[in-house]
């Protein structure tokens, strides 16, 4: 087992090591953690193209210099022309929204607007690094190329038949007409030029300048309902993250349409279960512990599926769903011996999570996504932007909580974790992986904060997943094969539909974590299931 990584003046973790290096390079030059994360976000969009793009969405949870938590919601809304009626009458689509092509590219990409908001925040707390410097690494990698990772090779190969008919996919992700092999150089010159324009003219150009006009024209030509006025009307929002207090400390996560509420609900329930039965939850590898968290997850998902969508369209406040009485009732509903029924989960999605902490204690938990691998599959010819398909998560059922409506943000699996423990330690943590995100977050939190494990050990230990993630379409309870045989047997005996995975299986997500000790020492870990790394100084 690898040892955790240590730092004193700055640390970053990412599922691709080059993104972590970009972040730490900015901190070495005097930048704060928010500026560093903008650099990492730009780099990861270039070097991990099967997982994310600037054509997607992002969420930020930030601990400021005085310990105050804030957030940025950079989730794009649907086009003004996107409605259930328009999809039925104009597009002949009535069952569900397709995953690929122009019909799927129906929401504005919020990522770059989020960078702009983050830059404003960075300036307000003393940041001075120019945007041109923050995007420098990403531009170089897009121009000169980066080695194709094993994951990129596998995903292009696996999705070729599905995506090759989609406009721009073959021209962008194939090299000389063939799937690029692992370690081959992958270049994106059009994206490099787009990033240069953003560096020179600012993030707003993506929505209200020349880039916006190019993007809108291309999207309309390729069958998307997005128009220029949709881009022009979009703004990333500053928000107050959701928060709960537990016996171990305070936790923050992102507001809806993110499923941050699900992560907090699971941990709120687990805190109550641990108080009820501390001896029964004293081993993170035991069937008792896994069962408790899986059942807490089912309770949290019931709340998610009933209530979570764009908060402007919710009938209850997100904060009310985290009321102590609500969490008490959900904890009381859990049967310690039998698994509750489990239905169909959401469709899987792709994303990346990254974290950064600087010497002053500013901490950033960040997540960026295009939803499925390669998003809608569309790559815009003018700008080289791979556009997301987050909008295919909308329902065409008028009675559904997440029904399609104009200028509405879809429900997001994305969420980013931040906590301050009762003893003063701060941790940023998160993962990719659809339904698995809140589960893995709860797993990381418990192993570090409840059981006292270090981040790297936590991330290398076997994990589980209830439902779907990007690599596996089934809805079973999935366990990596390194779990003890007794744990597996007891879970099956409790009624769980168990499916065994490989020993170190990528489908349970690419996670990461950084802990800032009260002394200022930084301790981090990355997920060996990814191409990730921790960079520090």
β-strand pairing of 237-239 with 69-74:
antiparallel
What pLDDT, on the 0 to 100 scale, is given for residue 1?
67
CA neighbor of 60 nearest in space, from 39, 46, 75, 43: 75
Percent of the chain with pLDDT over 70: 97
Q: Which of 248, 354, 296, 399 is nearest to 20 (CA)?
A: 354
Length of the chain: 537
For the cut 70, the answer to whether the pLDDT of residue 469 exceeds it is no
Tell me the C-alpha to C-alpha distance, in Å, between residue 201 and each of 121, 209, 373.
18, 9, 30
Q: Which residue is associated with the tokens 């997607």?
A: 56
pLDDT of residue 475: 82
Instruction: Give the pLDDT score at 348.
Output: 53
Q: How far apart are the first and last CA of the chain?
A: 22
Instruction: List 244's β-bridge partners, or say none.
Output: 251
pLDDT at 154 over 70: yes
Of 105, 496, 442, give the one whose Cα is nearest residue 260: 442
pLDDT, tens digit, 9 for 90 and up, residues 352-362: 999 999 999 99
Q: What percent of the chain has pLDDT over 90?
A: 91
Q: How far apart are CA 486 and CA 484, in angstroms?
A: 5
Tell me the per-residue pLDDT of 104-151, one tens digit each, with 9 for 90 and over.
Answer: 999 999 999 999 999 999 999 999 999 999 999 999 999 999 999 999
Catalytic residue flag (residue 351): yes
Beta bridge partners of 5: 524
11: number of Cβ within 10 Å: 32
Q: Which residues contact 185 (CB under 8 A, 6 or more apart)?
A: 144, 145, 146, 147, 148
How far apart (Å, rounded) are the C-alpha atoms in residues 219 and 230?
A: 11
List helix spans (H) across 169-310: 169-173, 189-201, 205-208, 210-221, 228-233, 260-276, 287-307
- Predicted confidence at residue 266, as pLDDT, reads 98
pLDDT given at position 278: 80
Over the stretch 35-59, which tens digit does the pLDDT of each residue have?
Answer: 999 999 999 999 999 989 999 999 9
pLDDT score recorded for residue 145: 97
Tell me the pLDDT band of 472, cut-offs 50, 70 and 90.
Answer: low
Task: Tell me what pLDDT residue 279 has.
Answer: 80
Cα–Cα distance measured from residue 155 to residue 526, given in angstroms and rounded to the nearest whole number: 21
Query: What domains sit in the chain, N to C, each tagged with a CATH number?
Result: 23-237+365-393 (no CATH), 239-348+413-536 (3.60.20.40)
Name the one residue in this structure whose structure tokens are 């000790």.
517
- What's the whole-number average pLDDT of the chain? 95
On the question of pLDDT at 411 being above 70, the answer is yes
Judged against a pLDDT cut of 80, whether residue 468 lies above it is answered with no
Is 377 a residue whose pLDDT tops 60?
yes
* Mean pLDDT on 362-388: 97
Query: What integer is the mean pLDDT of 246-261?
Result: 97
Q: How far from chain centre, in Å, is Cα 337?
A: 33
Question: What is the C-alpha to C-alpha distance for residues 174 and 189, in angstroms, rounded to an integer?
Answer: 14
Q: Greatest CA separation found in the chain?
A: 62
Given the residues 351, 413, 476, 487, select the one marked as catalytic. 351
Q: Of 394, 412, 307, which Cα lies nearest the Cα of 86? A: 394
DSSP states of 47-91 as a string? H-TTT--TBSEEEEEEE-TTS-EEEEEEPPPBPTT--HHHHHHTT
Residue pair 275/324 in contact by the 8 Å Cβ criterion? no
Q: What pTM value is reported for the model?
A: 0.96
Q: Which two tokens stand for residue 320?
A: 């009310």
pLDDT digits (tens, 9 = 90+) for 421-446: 999 999 999 998 888 899 999 999 99
Do the beta carbons of residue 491 and residue 291 sit within 8 Å?
yes
The answer for residues whose C-beta is within 8 angstroms of residue 358's C-beta and 6 or more apart is 9, 10, 27, 31, 32, 33, 36
- 185-205: average pLDDT: 98
How do residues 172-182 score in pLDDT, each as one tens digit? 999 989 999 99
Using a 10 angstrom Cβ sphere, with 0-12 exposed, 13-18 middle and 19 or more buried, the burial of residue 147 is: middle
Query: What pLDDT score does 433 carry?
Result: 80
* Spatial separation of the C-alpha atoms in residues 44 and 510, rounded to whole Å: 13
8 vs 344 pLDDT, higher one: 8
> What does the pLDDT look like over 56-92, one tens digit per residue?
999 999 999 989 999 999 999 999 999 999 999 999 9
Q: Lowest mean pLDDT of 170-174, 339-343, 494-498, name the range.
A: 339-343
Supply the DSSP string of 92-137, one letter for each residue. Answer: ---S---SSSTTT--B---HHHHHHHHHHHHHHTT----HHHHTHH
Residue 350 has pLDDT above 70, yes or no: no
CA distances from 206 to 75, 202, 225, 366 (A): 15, 8, 17, 21
Q: 148-162, 344-358, 453-467: lowest mean pLDDT where?
A: 344-358
SS3 535: strand
Given a cut of 70, whether residue 345 has pLDDT beyond it is no
Q: Which residue did the predictor score with more confidence, 351 or 400? A: 400
Tokens for 177, please give them. Answer: 């007409």
Residue-level pLDDT at 81:
98
Question: What distance in Å separates the CA atoms of residue 537 and residue 535, rounded to the nearest whole number?
Answer: 7
Q: What is the pLDDT of residue 505?
A: 92
Answer whether residue 287 shows pLDDT above 60. Answer: yes
**Helix (H/G/I), strand (E/B), else coil: 476:** coil
Q: How many helices (H) and strands (E) does the chain have?
A: 18, 19
Q: Classify burial at 94, counting beta carbons within 10 Å of its beta carbon; exposed 0-12, middle 13-18, buried 19 or more.
A: exposed
């Amino acid at each position: 087992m690898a040892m955790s990584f240590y730092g004193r003046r700055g640390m970053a973790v990412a599922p691709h090591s080059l993104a972590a290096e970009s972040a730490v390079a900015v901190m070495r030059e005097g930048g704060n953690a928010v500026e560093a994360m903008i650099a990492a976000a730009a780099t990861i969009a270039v070097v991990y193209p099967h997982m994310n793009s600037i054509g997607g969405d992002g969420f930020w949870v930030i601990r400021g210099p005085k310990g105050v938590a804030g957030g940025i919601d950079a989730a794009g809304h649907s086009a003004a022309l996107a409605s259930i009626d328009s999809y039925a009458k104009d597009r002949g689509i009535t069952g569900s929204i397709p995953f690929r092509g122009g019909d799927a590219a129906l929401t504005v990409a919020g990522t770059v607007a989020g960078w702009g908001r983050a830059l404003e925040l960075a300036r307000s707390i003393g940041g001075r690094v120019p945007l041109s410097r923050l995007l420098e690494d990403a531009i170089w990698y897009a121009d000169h190329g980066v080695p194709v990772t094993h994951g990129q090779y596998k995903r292009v190969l696996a999705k070729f038949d599905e995506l090759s008919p989609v406009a721009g996919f073959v021209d962008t992700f194939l090299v000389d007409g063939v799937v690029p092999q692992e370690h081959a150089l992958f270049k994106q010159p059009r994206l490099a030029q787009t990033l240069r324009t953003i560096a020179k003219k600012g993030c707003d150009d993506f929505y209200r300048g020349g880039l916006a006009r190019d993007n809108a024209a291309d999207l309309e030509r390729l069958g998307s309902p997005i128009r220029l006025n949709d881009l022009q009307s979009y703004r990333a929002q500053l928000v107050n993250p959701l928060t709960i207090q537990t016996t171990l400390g305070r936790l923050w996560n992102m507001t809806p349409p993110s499923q941050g509420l699900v992560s907090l609900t699971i941990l709120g329930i687990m805190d109550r279960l641990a108080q009820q039965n501390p001896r029964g939850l004293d081993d993170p590898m035991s069937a008792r512990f896994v069962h408790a968290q899986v059942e807490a997850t089912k309770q949290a998902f019931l709340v998610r599926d009933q209530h979570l969508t764009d908060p402007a369209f919710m009938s209850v406040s997100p904060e009310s769903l985290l009321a102590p009485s609500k969490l008490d009732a959900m904890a009381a509903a859990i049967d310690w011996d039998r698994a509750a029924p489990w239905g169909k989960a959401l469709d899987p999605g792709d994303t990346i999570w990254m974290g950064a902490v600087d010497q002053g204690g500013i901490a950033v938990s960040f997540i960026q996504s295009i939803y499925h691998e390669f998003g809608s599959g569309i790559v815009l010819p003018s700008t080289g932007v791979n556009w997301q398909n987050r909008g295919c998560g909308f329902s065409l059922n008028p009675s559904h909580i997440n029904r399609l409506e104009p200028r509405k943000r879809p429900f997001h699996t994305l969420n980013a974790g931040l906590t301050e423990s009762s003893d003063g330690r701060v941790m940023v943590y998160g993962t990719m992986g659809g339904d698995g995100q809140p589960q893995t977050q709860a797993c990381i939190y418990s192993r570090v904060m409840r059981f006292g494990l270090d981040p790297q050990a936590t991330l290398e230990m076997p994990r589980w997943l209830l439902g779907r993630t990007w690599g596996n379409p089934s809805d079973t309870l999935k366990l990596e094969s390194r779990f003890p045989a007794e744990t597996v047997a007891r879970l099956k005996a409790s009624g769980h539909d168990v499916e065994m995975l490989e020993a170190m299986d990528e489908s349970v997500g690419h996670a990461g974590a950084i802990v800032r000790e009260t002394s200022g020492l930084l301790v981090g870990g990355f997920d060996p299931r990814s191409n990730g790394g921790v960079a520090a100084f």
